[in-house]
Structure 1
Amino acid sequence: MEQPLPKSWSIHTRPEIIAKYEILERVGSGAYSDVYRARRLSDDLTVALKEVHDYQSAFREIEALQMLQNCPNIVVLHEYFWREDEDAVLVLEFLRTDLSAVIRDAKKKEGGVGVGEIKRWMLQILCGVDACHRNMIVHRDLKPGNLLVSDDGVLKLADFGQAKILMEPGFDGVNDNLPIEQNMGYQENVTPPLDVVPDAHNLSDRGFNKEDTNREEYLRQLAELKAKRHAVDEIDKETITNDEYSSCLATGTISDIDDDPLKSSYSYEAEEGGDDRNGALTSCVGTRWFRAPELLYGSTDYGLEVDLWSLGCIFSELLTLEPLFPGISDIDQLGRIINVLGNLTEEVWPSCSKLPDYKIISFAKIENPIGLEACLPNRSPDEISIVKRLVCYNPATRATAMELLNDKYFDEEPLPLPVSELHVPLTKNGHDEDSPGGWNDYDDMGSDSDFGDFGHYKVETTGSGFSIQFS
């Protein structure tokens, strides 16, 4: 009698996949997935096969990409394979390079990236983010390495493994991780619900009609979402006494960490975090350099605005070809932000003191923060203004993607270049973009603690735990 095939963890041994695709080479690898370049046998189309080793990441990515079908600046999901006891394999369009390669390539050229080219890259990024946010999808890991670029210059948001759908019909916040139908029934010609996907044929050059949802309606919907999520969180708090994801930083109680709070390591190296099984959000998401301050302070009550902070960091890097806040640890990341923007206080962000780690970690007063202008030398006032409207402490004051698509900056000379005239690098760098804190020229310097690289600190015990002040 023939023995059944063992449970396979390799894409090469799955008959349903190799019957349709020829796997050519592995092009990327990380803690949660492996990506292969492949050829579709039916028509010779080159595709990317993404084998996702984490159930929740696979669920998120499939769900988000199904909702975002036909959005011109979102990577295309052709189909997926997922069955019991197997990793999910997503069949995605193959895009050879990414925005981080564009930036690296520009650093080698005299003159860097021209203003018209910068504007076109920005517009494409904004179109992709606007599509996500109109569907109440927060990406949570926006960075140049996740902005893929086609050979003809089209930029597309990718890697939705950390994405979260904040609100949808029937959303109740507690059944968020129920299994989706595990079959191969999703094909590229499936028509998504009309109420969640914009009509691609009616998209303007910037990706939306200016007469669409205005700011007041957007903010009203966002306020309703926050109220709904807060109500769910309050229920969760009554049933969950210890949420292991409540903070990315140095939180704890004296009983948790004995007498010395620095005996434990508070740096975390897994940049992809999972949300609570009851649907609560986690602050352990995103890549450190692009992580909003509310996440660094442990917030689990955030929204689309965390993507907007990341956008500001990306735009700044496009303008200067250098990362804005290249922190080597979470504490160093906060310190760099504070040195530029000044201390985080109720004056600049009302209610910031309610952030989980706000009273645990404090910094010496910065009398003269350098300001974003100093980080953007030789850039125009309009360019600096766009970054400042995104890189600001109070999430409620960050400009939405929709607002920025209407900004006069994109209507003034030099105008955005046509997509066909964008410079696209031949290949992307082989370095693993997802290595925590190790993007470009930085790594975690072998530190086991978030505190080791930041300088002097003072630890004081409090009634409920401890507080750490950095100077």
Structure 2
Amino acid sequence: MSPVEWPEVPSKRTRDEAVASDRDDQLRVEVNGRAPPPLWSPAQRRLGPPPESQRPGTNNHQIPPLQFPARHDSLVPPHSPRSAKNGDAALTPVQLARTLEQDVNPATRPFSPSTTTRKELYAIVSQVGEGTFGKVYKARNTVTNVHVALKRIRMEAERDGFPVTAMREIKLLQSLRHQNIVRLYEMMVSNGSVHMVFEYMDHDLTGVLSQTQFSFSEANLKSLCSQMLAGLAYLHHKGVIHRDIKGSNILINNRGELKLGDFGLARFYHKRRRADYTNRVITLWYRPPELLFGATVYGPEVDMWSAGCIMLELYTKKPIFQGNDEIHQLDVIYRIIGTPTAERWAGVTELPWYELVKPKDAIPDHFRELFQKWLSPAALDLAEQLLAYDPARRVTALQALEAPYFKDEPPSPELPVGLSTLEGEWHELETKRERAKKRRKLETGM
């Protein structure tokens, strides 16, 4: 069999409804059955909403600094908002953000001194990404000069209150404290927008794999893989499934530290009782075969398939399974690891969409011969275990960290501290823009 030819990464990856929500995601927080007022200050309510040109994110060239108070005037007692359908008054978006802010560890906040009651606390530097439910900006604290990431929660279409999907991400992040999970500092409300304030990470994996200034050593790649698995092991221990592990959601700073980000699709799961979830999650190229076959009852093993895809991407510098739609995605998987059989995957024929998408022809497994030029034998073994067809046989994050690839086979993991020598910052957004520029030059012949 000839080697698999991978196409160029498209300028916009197929998400294929990866932002689809579970059944309760359509709920919105209301007050006595009525939509809460806009998130403007009293002065703004007298004058009306700010002009379009002065709203954060409306002008990519000249984005005005956000007017954030360093401290909030009043805090409401923390409690979980309830749907007004039950007859209980729920929190307004402003109250909700203030309530959620209380739970964030104050020691981690990049706050300006408390004497600053109202000033331009954060000045937006540039847009660095777009999360599942909002744009992400690099911003500078105008007092401390510390850089942070501001994730603006989309509220334009949320006339009925604060989106439950965003509230879920906030509550999830408040419960997580780990060196390989991005840190949420606080919540900020300004000019009708709600922002999540995160620690700033210089790059994402998609970006750094596309640059040519710095080459990762074998020890560096092993460190990145180990850090990713450590973050997943912690998440799964805490009962959380990420459900969108991909290159742009794996963040890396100039010290070589890796952190998982964008928890917009994450869910708590029941460790002893499998729950029913949507299968329209995980970006297509990283989506496990059970979801492509229509499974809705699943657990953390879906993240482990995505981790296997990332492990291979670290070595080959490009996504491995690049499908255009669900049917083509399965076909791409078949051509590399063969078609699933009852021996390899007990119960595959019982999955909801099996009869609709089952393979027409039997294809043998070519995985090891295709990747042996990039991966060592121990690395191949681990990647195979991460990409097992049967979710029940797929290795867990904790088991993966104990694999011979990490424990026995040299070299030992080393942080890629050489990233500090890179010129510029490397994110998927810049990678897309550079690719689009090159494409335009080719088309115009300039």
TM-score range, shorter chain: 0.5 to 0.7
- Residue of structure 2 aligned with 1:164, choices 267, 284, 287: 267
**3-state SS in 1 of match to 2:429:** coil
Q: Which residue of structure 2 aligns with residue 154 of structure 1?
A: 257
Q: Deviations over 1:170-209 (max 9, x none)?
A: xxxxxxxxxxxxxxxxxxxxxxxxxxxxxxxxxxxxxxxx
In structure 1, distance between residues paired with 2:138 and 2:384: 39
**1:26–1:35 CA contact under 8 A, matched in 2:** yes
Q: Which residue of structure 1 aligns with residue 174 of structure 2?
A: 66
Q: Deviations over 1:230-273 (max 9, x none)?
A: xxxxxxxxxxxxxxxxxxxxxxxxxxxxxxxxxxxxxxxxxxxx
**3-state SS in 1 of match to 2:46:** coil
In structure 2, distance between residues paired with 1:410 and 1:124: 11
CA 1:370–1:411: 2 relative to 1, 3 Å = closer
Partner AA of 1:225 in structure 2: R
Residue 96 in structure 1 maps to residue 94 in structure 2: no
Residue 350 in structure 1 maps to residue 392 in structure 2: no
Partner AA of 1:52 in structure 2: I
In structure 2, distance between residues paired with 1:404 and 1:31: 28
In structure 1, distance between residues paired with 2:317 and 2:129: 24
**3-state SS in 1 of match to 2:248:** helix
Residue 283 in structure 1 maps to residue 325 in structure 2: no
CA 1:411–1:80: 2 relative to 1, 3 Å = same
- Residue of structure 2 aligned with 1:316, choices 309, 312, 315: 312
Partner AA of 1:328 in structure 2: N
Q: Which residue of structure 2 aligns with residue 431 of structure 1?
A: 429
**1:320–1:376 CA contact under 8 A, matched in 2:** no
In structure 2, distance between residues paired with 1:287 and 1:30: 12
The alpha carbon displacement at 1:281 in A equals 1.4
In structure 2, distance between residues paired with 1:21 and 1:336: 45
The alpha carbon displacement at 1:158 in A equals 0.6
Q: Which residue of structure 2 aligns with residue 249 of structure 1?
A: none
CA 1:283–1:422: 2 relative to 1, 3 Å = farther
Q: Which residue of structure 1 aligns with residue 248 of structure 2?
A: 145
Residue 127 in structure 1 maps to residue 123 in structure 2: no
CA 1:114–1:368: 2 relative to 1, 3 Å = same
5 Å-filtered alignment, 1:68-83, equals 68-69=176-177, 71-81=178-188
In structure 1, distance between residues paired with 2:349 and 2:192: 45
The alpha carbon displacement at 1:105 in A equals 2.5
**1:145–1:433 CA contact under 8 A, matched in 2:** no
- Residue of structure 2 aligned with 1:22, choices 118, 123, 136: 123
5 Å-filtered alignment, 1:361-372, equals 361-372=357-368
Q: Which residue of structure 1 aligns with residue 134 of structure 2?
A: 33
Q: Deviations over 1:136-158 (max 9, x none)?
A: 11111111211111111111111
Q: State the superposition RMSD in angstroms.
A: 3.1
Unaligned stretches of 5+ in structure 1?
168-221, 230-279, 443-471
Q: Which residue of structure 2 aligns with residue 341 of structure 1?
A: 337
Q: Which residue of structure 2 aligns with residue 187 of structure 1?
A: none
- Residue of structure 1 aligned with 2:154, choices 41, 53, 57: 53
CA 1:372–1:328: 2 relative to 1, 3 Å = farther
**3-state SS in 2 of match to 1:124:** helix
**1:373–1:384 CA contact under 8 A, matched in 2:** no
**3-state SS in 1 of match to 2:355:** coil
Partner AA of 1:92 in structure 2: F
The alpha carbon displacement at 1:301 in A equals 0.8
In structure 1, distance between residues paired with 2:359 and 2:432: 29
CA 1:5–1:162: 2 relative to 1, 3 Å = farther
- Residue of structure 1 aligned with 2:221, choices 100, 112, 118: 118
In structure 2, distance between residues paired with 1:50 and 1:337: 34
In structure 2, distance between residues paired with 1:298 and 1:162: 18
CA 1:120–1:4: 2 relative to 1, 3 Å = same
In structure 2, distance between residues paired with 1:42 and 1:367: 61
In structure 1, distance between residues paired with 2:201 and 2:325: 31
TM value normalised by structure 1: 0.63
**3-state SS in 1 of match to 2:354:** coil
Name the stretch that deviates more: 424-433 or 297-306: 424-433
Q: Which residue of structure 2 aligns with residue 406 of structure 1?
A: 402
**1:339–1:366 CA contact under 8 A, matched in 2:** no
**3-state SS in 2 of match to 1:79:** strand
The alpha carbon displacement at 1:324 in A equals 1.5
CA 1:119–1:30: 2 relative to 1, 3 Å = closer
Partner AA of 1:156 in structure 2: K
The alpha carbon displacement at 1:372 in A equals 4.1
